[in-house]
Amino acid sequence: MDTKVVTVDKEKPDLQVMRMAGEILRKGGLVAFPTETVYGLGGDGLNAGSSKKIYAAKGRPSDNPLIIHIADLESLEKIVKSVPPKAKLLAEKFWPGPLTMIFSKSSRVPYETTGGLESVAVRMPSHPVALAIIREGGGYIAAPSANTSGRPSPTRAEHVCEDLTGKIDMIVDGGAVGIGLESTIVDFTEEVPMILRPGYINQEMIQEVIGPVRMDRGLLITEEKVRPKAPGMKYRHYAPKAQLTIVQGSSSQVTAYINAQCEKAVREGKKPGVIAADETVSAYRGAVVKGIGARNDEEEIARNLFAVLREFDEEDTDILFSEAFDTPRMGQAIMNRLLKAAGHHIIDLDSLF
């Protein structure tokens, strides 16, 4: 398949290009486009055939449900059974934006889109290109992150090209995304609303609007028995080719430990790599070191994380170490992605010594 790549202005996307993308979607084709979180791989969410094509292009297991993206609030009522009052409050506060909510689905939504579930995930993104494409494409665009299943989510069109060229009809390049981590998911099919995936909008921000929300226990516990509720959260994900270990502790302990591990790796003939905050990049020796952002700029760290994991796939490093990034506001979201990339391999130096 020939994949068209078209560049547009993020703020003022060319209407003709938006129409072309919309037509492909209405005919059942696939278009990747930027959102404020990560790039999405769009198909008509009410067309079972389109959803099947999405799974095939990503190599994604078909029990892993898709998020339907809408461009206005009226669209929500057509695809869900009912909207609880607390969900309405969150929509008023955070839509359009990096929030996904889960409801009982209406009969209009095919099971192919929901991975066989009776519930459906819905998000109204804020990115002008995404909104235009959703409208032109019929209003209900199923869009998972536009990566090959298991790879880091794409934060630039180049990442989408790496993974999906030849497999989809069109890639709309709107430049680098703003947030860099996927949306926060809140499940409203539970008695007490539950966060299934942490993101830019954190638990505290949600609780300020609707009161108590729970965190899915499966996110916090690594035991096999406690599975996360969002099917996609159970897979080892974003995984670089080299085994990644996260090292937690005081800054000087962490650099000393990682340097010793890198030295050992080099002695064994391996090529080590390190993911570090900008401030500590120069403290590492004998490894490929990549700065991810300033420690006090958590938005920069979030924005760079997936790109840095992808960059390490290009290096022929065999073993990777990362500092921990338990930052105040987005730390939960950043560490959730990093832990998945590391297959939950984390060393806490405070508990070792």
Binding residues (CB under 6 A) for ligand TXA: these are: 35, 37-38, 40, 64-67, 100, 102, 114, 117, 119-121, 123, 125, 143-145, 182-183, 185, 196, 229-233
Question: Closer CB to Mg ion, residue 306 or residue 321?
Answer: 306
Query: Residues with Cβ < 8 Å from 347, sequence gap 6 or more?
Result: 245, 246, 247, 248, 257
Q: What is the DSSP letter of 145?
A: B
195 - beta bridge partners? 186, 215
Residue 183 interacts with Mg ion (CB under 5 A): yes or no: no
CB under 5 to 8 A by kind: which of ligand TXA, Mg ion, none does 185 bind?
ligand TXA
100 binds Mg ion (CB under 5 A): no
In this complex, which beta carbon is closest to ligand TXA, that of residue 141 or of residue 258? 141
Q: Of 148, 154, 182, 150, which is closest to residue 167 (Cα–Cα)?
A: 148
Residue type, 234: K
DSSP labels for 253-319?
HHHHHHHHHHHHHHHTT--EEEEE-GGGGGG--SSEEEE---TT-HHHHHHHHHHHHHHHHHTT-SE
* Nearer residue to Mg ion within complex by CB, 86 or 340: 340
**Span from 109-117, 142-150, 319-327, 343-351 in contact with Mg ion (CB under 5 A):** 142-150
By the 8 A CB rule, do 211 and 126 touch?
A: no
Q: Of 114 and 304, which has the nearer Cβ to ligand TXA?
A: 114
For residue 75, the partner it binds in Mg ion, ligand TXA, none, with Cβ less than 5 to 8 A by kind, is none
Q: What is the closest distance, in whole angstroms, from the C-beta atom of residue 190 to ligand TXA in the complex? A: 10
Given the rule CB under 5 A, which of 111-119, 144-152, 196-204, 258-266 is the region that contacts Mg ion?
Answer: 144-152
Query: How far is it, in rounded angstroms, from Cα 81 to Cα 103?
Result: 7
